[in-house]
Amino acid sequence: MRPFDVLAAEIDVAIRANDADALTAIAKELSTSAELEAEALEHRAMAGVERLNARFTIAIEHYQRAMELHRAVYDRANEAKDAAQLGAVYSIMGDFPGALEHFHHALAIVEELNDAAGIAQQAFNIGQAHNSTGDYPSALEFYLRSLRQFENLGDRAGMARVTGAIGTAHANGGNRVDALAQYEIALQMHEEAGNRLGVAQVIGNLGTLHVETNDLSAALDDYRRAMAIHEELGNDMGAAGMMINICFVLLDTNRLDEARELIARFESLNINDPRIRIIQYNLTAHLREHEGNLEEANSFFETALEEAMKFGLRNEASDLHKAMRDLSEKRDDFKAYIRHNNAYAQLSDEIKGKEAALKMVMQQKQREIESIEKERARERTVLYSTLPKHVADRMVRGERVTDHFDAVSVMFLDIVGFTRLSDKIQAEHVVDLLEAIFQVCDAVCAANGLTKIKTIGDSYLPVSGIPEPTADHADRMATAAVQLLQALNVLEVKMDPSKGSLEVFKEIGDITVRIGLHCGPLVAGVIGNERLQYDIWGDTVNMASRMESTSEPGRIQVSEQFAQALGNRELGTGN
């Protein structure tokens, strides 16, 4: 079997090419493996097949399973990709709250992975979902976020695509001036990048803008230019969309011969999409109506309506009932007129009610998502403040952190006599003193590439050789130990007299520390649920602790094993 990343890339190519046969072949190849990653990709490939065949419910089941399996193997990048595909299918079905939920899921993951390209794409997808429900302010908000990401990446193609979408949002909101300006910018960017598909899409949008301003001649020119490019690129779906637009303009202007010729070309495309088939029957019905063949027109409308009802396409069904109602009046079929008028009225009311409910659901879903994102941000802040960055990064990606290291140096540092001292001074002074000492420890350890594990009372525990194993872990630890003694010997801690008497400090004298060092293998991992703790375990840790407890104030005691790892180097201040 070929590598999984190669097969995943081929699935993406096949989906973009609408190649169900290729997807089926890839799924068959993946089915020969018992690995979970292979099963996940097999479900993704089969989801693509079902999606191309308009079996969207089954496609969703496959994508859901793929996402669950990728989550199980901690493959967050592919989990995000599956979530985005789920969002796309929900969008096709008109379930935009469902689409929004999955696009936001994908966005949260790519943000955790710092995937700038993924953030740009998912922000764009979210903008598209809002645009489809008429929430143009929210659409523009996410489009602009996507645009900024593409600008930072220097991705001109992405910038052009988003700019075109911004134009469409303005057009849908009735702002044709801004729409035209954005389309012109997008067109120029696509042309400069040599992106012919992008050029065709923007020119098609310009055609629609001209239809809305009743400049049908300019609209036809734009649609025809866009259709020619789609045909040149072999993009049947794009060509079909432009043919549909041209046919409706031709029928509206009574240019029947041209419409007839184009409908024949349209039928030869043989695209397996229920919406395209419905439009094909619809166009033929309108042509027959213009020709005066009302019975044939009715027959094609009936076929289109059956297809719409079969796939639950209520908007299309509503439009068809309206067209058949008007046709029934011309046919003097009063019963059919009443039937279709009632059906049209009922569907229109249901759709309007559904649209209103949809906007409410979308608004509620957006509030829920924003609340979840704020909570995640708070959780990430806490995570990064309590765990080493490399550990927090892995936790955010959903990994379980359990590691074994063969060669790590461990330090224990303890403040001599601190328990006795803490009984004599104010609690505020205890905290201030520890903070001052541990700040020095943090700075020295960071400068030498050590990882702080934790503080235990007045003890400080760092390690060297985690997260990345290093051959010089003992050297780094020795250097840090010497620098700590030197820095703490000259540290002056100024106490705030407003927090309590400072007389006791005169009796205490200088504060000293003792240090113990050892090296060897250990286990590291994160434990806990409510309060996460990254910790280390093993004899290496225990031995370092014994080295510290039997050391002398102001000195560093090392084990024989650490001394051997250090070689001939002298610690200088202690041994």
**521-541 per-position pLDDT tens digit:** 999 998 877 678 889 999 999
What confidence score (pLDDT) does residue 505 get?
58
Q: Could you give the CA distance from residue 325 to residue 214 in angstroms, rounded to a whole number?
A: 26
List of domains in the chain: 391-566 (3.30.70.1230)
Dihedral angle sign, alpha carbons of residues 187, 190, 193, 196: negative
Q: Helix, strand or coil for residue 464?
A: strand
> What is the distance between the terminal CA atoms of the chain, rounded to a whole angstrom?
58
Quick one: pLDDT band at residue 77, thresholds 50, 70, 90? very high
What confidence score (pLDDT) does residue 573 get?
43
Q: What backbone torsions phi and psi does residue 533 show, to the nearest 5 degrees? A: -140, 125
Which 3-state string (H, E, C) describes 177-232? HHHHHHHHHHHHHHHHHCCHHHHHHHHHHHHHHHHHCCCHHHHHHHHHHHHHHHHH
Q: Who wins on pLDDT, 121 or 387? A: 121
Q: How many CB atoms lie within 10 A of CB 375?
A: 10
Q: What backbone torsions phi and psi does residue 273 show, to the nearest 5 degrees? A: -140, 125
Helix axes 473-489, 427-447, angle to 10 degrees: 140
**172-210 per-position pLDDT tens digit:** 888 889 999 999 999 999 999 899 999 999 999 999 999
Question: Is the distance from CB of 84 to CB of 121 less than 8 angstroms?
Answer: yes
Residue 366: CA count within 13 A, CB half-sphere: 17
Q: Could you give the CA distance from residue 517 to residue 501 in angstroms, rounded to a whole number?
A: 37
Question: Is the distance from CB of 562 to CB of 464 less than 8 angstroms?
Answer: no
**302-333 per-position pLDDT tens digit:** 999 998 888 778 888 999 999 999 999 999 99
Question: Is the distance from CB of 376 to CB of 108 less than 8 angstroms?
Answer: yes
- List the structure tokens of 372: 């979840």
320 class by beta-carbon count within 10 Å (0-12 exposed, 13-18 middle, 19+ buried): buried
**494-523 per-position pLDDT tens digit:** 766 676 666 655 555 677 899 999 999 999
In this structure, which amino acid lies at residue 231?
A: E
Contacts of residue 136, Cβ cutoff 8 Å, sequence gap at least 6: 130, 169, 170, 172, 173
Hey, which residues does 409 pair with through a beta bridge?
464, 519
**388-416 per-position pLDDT tens digit:** 887 887 777 667 788 899 999 999 999 98
What confidence score (pLDDT) does residue 528 get?
79
- Cα angle 52, 58, 63; round to 5: 85
Contacts of residue 201, Cβ cutoff 8 Å, sequence gap at least 6: 164, 226, 238
> For the residues 236-247, what does the mean pLDDT come to?
91
What confidence score (pLDDT) does residue 431 get?
87
Q: Helix, strand or coil for residue 397?
A: coil
In this structure, which amino acid lies at residue 20?
A: A
Question: Is the distance from CB of 44 to CB of 66 less than 8 angstroms?
Answer: yes
- Cα angle 216, 221, 224; round to 5: 120
Quick one: pLDDT band at residue 362, thresholds 50, 70, 90? low
In this structure, which amino acid lies at residue 400?
A: R
Give percent helix, percent strand, percent coil of the chain, each to the nearest 5.
Answer: 70, 10, 20
